[in-house]
Structure 1
Amino acid sequence: MTTPQQPQQSLDQLLEGEALLTFPEVAEMLGVPVTKVHDIVGSGKLVVYRHNGTKTIPALLLNDGELSKFVGGAITVLADGGFEPDEILTFLFTPDESLPGRPIDALHGHGAREVIRRAQAMAF
């Protein structure tokens, strides 16, 4: 017997209520110029979410105001596997009962290696 799958939430729904930071806000948190934030996004350590026509970065992609090596690693693995930024954010913010919670939350805790392993399996 199969169980009905829950309907896939849109990225907008997944990020509803999440803190979204503008590039200047990220730059201030990291203590770098805004151009450096553009470089970080370009190098694949962070991904952008377009919200109301503005490029934003979900605050949970940062770890206490710093770049997280685990978040950056998961983003890099998925991007190298052909995932687009919206697909990466969808993966990171979609609840997963087997973790439990969301991959983004696990990346900030003891589940980081498991999330990276799953990202590798999905990407290739």
Structure 2
Amino acid sequence: MSTEQTPRTPSDPSVGSTDLETLVGEWLTVPDLAERLGIRLTDVRRLLEDRDLLAARVGERRVISVPAAFLDEEGPLPALRGTFTVLADARMSDDEIIEWLFTRDETLPGGPTPVEAIRAGFKTEVRRRAMEEAL
């Protein structure tokens, strides 16, 4: 019996919020994010409204949280916003976009997930694959 798992796709209905929480791993609540970036809560909310960052409701209390991997030392990873837009144009929900960015794809350069590939400087390759999702 194989221990290899089949990667789940964002359209897989078996993927629930608990799976998303596990898939992403480290999350930051809005107050935690404000503290980490040294900005006001209203500024964090603006980042979410402007789609510089995406959030999901996670945890037992369904608290709005942002994947920690979406940030560097200075704030939101600049390459994410355009990728969010491309995937949203493919009619993906925010939860589906987050899942897509954290789903393993061993064929990507720079890391086994799209978000790791973006962090490693392979934004163009990730966006190319995101555009394929939009077709």
The verdict on a shared fold, with TM-score over 0.5 as the criterion, is yes
Paired residue total: 119
Are 1:55 and 2:29 an aligned pair?
no
Structure 1 match to 2:6 = 6
- CA spacing shift, 1:7–1:102, aligned 2, 3 Å: closer
Report the Cα distance in structure 2 between the residues aligned to 1:72 and 1:28, rounded to whole angstroms: 22
TM-score of the superposition, structure 1-length normalised? 0.84
Report the Cα distance in structure 1 between the residues aligned to 2:85 and 2:32, rounded to whole angstroms: 23
What is the DSSP-based 3-state SS (H/G/I as helix, E as strand, rest coil) of the residue aligned with 1:67? Answer: coil
Structure 1 match to 2:121 = 110
Matched-pair identity in %:
34
Q: Aligned-pair distance for 1:110?
A: 2.8
More displaced, 58-67 or 89-98?
58-67
Are 1:30 and 2:41 an aligned pair?
no
* Structure 1: 5+ residue stretches without partners: none
Report the Cα distance in structure 2 between the residues aligned to 1:123 and 1:63, rounded to whole angstroms: 27
Counterpart of 2:84 (choices 75, 84, 87) is 75
TM-score of the superposition, structure 2-length normalised? 0.78
User: 1:85 corresponds to which letter in structure 2?
Assistant: D
Are 1:91 and 2:103 an aligned pair?
no
Q: Aligned-pair distance for 1:30?
A: 2.2
What is the DSSP-based 3-state SS (H/G/I as helix, E as strand, rest coil) of the residue aligned with 2:119? Answer: coil
CA deviations on 1:41-100 (whole Å, 9 max, x unpaired) are 111111112112111101001122411111222112212332101100110000001114
Q: Is the 8 A contact 2:7 2:104 kept in 1?
A: no
Q: CA RMSD for the aligned pairs?
A: 2.0
User: 1:6 corresponds to which letter in structure 2?
Assistant: T
Report the Cα distance in structure 2 between the residues aligned to 1:79 and 1:37, rounded to whole angstroms: 21
More displaced, 63-72 or 47-56?
63-72
Q: Is the 8 A contact 1:40 1:46 kept in 2?
A: yes
Report the Cα distance in structure 2 between the residues aligned to 1:112 and 1:7, rounded to whole angstroms: 21
